[in-house]
A = this chain, B = another copy of it.
């Protein structure tokens, strides 16, 4: 952390700042120039609140050099985290494909989709039971009943299930869920993150629509600071000025996070674009640059889906896509292996 002082800082205030910093267990190097004094803070600054320092009268600006997250930081944990879910592994070179409908609508629907996506090669089943909807008048999901239906589909197919939690009070229904998803709108629902950090199931955190990489990793840090290290990150598009697609998929998130963190990174091309026709090309892109997996919406009847129909693939289209994704993944792994 670097603290740039204003010109001619009050010596008394500077001394009390230096004393306070000493108590935080960081050492301070002072660079005195003609027009400015710069303090270089060395040590573990992740627990120092920049705002406390910025508020001082003698301080001009404060800049962080070290990342403010620790458990999620690759610097302190160089090898990839691999999250085990049933027989599946997420991360560590595997390609995880989570597929299924946006909303669970009926037993018939979810079992049909589950069988279809399993046959096509999906490694996990997704489906929404608790649904965050912009309008109070839109279908809000089947709730607990939706989770029961997902469990039935899991029994039928053996696929592990991933579904979204919207509120800590719903945790009691998630006993048989394999991966708990935190949606983009809840990425900074810190109470929820703390409660998920205090339990053991893997947590998949979707990126908030206007969250930076650092804020996203801080949300992972909330879960990890509670003791749960099984965190998966899911890029699902950010909000920009472009409205042709529902969001703008920030595909750079994958290689950037590969550097910053050891956690697995999944890409959701369905929500990112809101258009079924863009799912396949973006899935190819995600696999080519090394994403650990994909989250793809599949519905047996998109035109009558109760939510997010326009972005869902039909099972046949998903099958065609999956048939290409696994070989492409193998090709890319070999390709990269050749010279790296």
Which residues of chain A have a CB within 8 Å of any CB of chain B? 2, 4, 27, 29-36, 38, 40, 42-43, 46-47, 49, 51-52, 54-57, 60-61, 63, 65, 68-69, 132-140, 166-169, 185-186, 188-192, 194, 209-210, 212-215, 218, 221-222, 225, 238-245, 248-252, 254-256, 259, 272-273, 277-278, 281-282, 284-290, 302-310, 312, 320, 323-324, 327-328, 331-332, 335-336, 338-339
Contacts and interface: CB of A to CB of B under 8 A. Distances in A.
B277 A218 contact: no
B33 A43 contact: yes
B167 A192 contact: yes
14 contacts: A29-B38, A49-B138, A51-B307, A51-B308, A51-B309, A55-B312, A68-B137, A132-B190, A185-B188, A189-B189, A238-B241, A238-B242, A238-B248, A284-B290
B239 A55 contact: no
B55 A61 contact: no
Contacts of A327: 335
Copies of this protein chain in the complex: 4
Contact of A339 (B55, B60, B210, B320): B320
Please report whether the interface of chain A is mostly helix, strand, loop or mixed according to DSSP: mixed
Interface centre among A191, A249, A250, A335 (most CB of B within 10 A): A191
A252 B239 contact: no
B282 A256 contact: no
B185 A212 contact: no
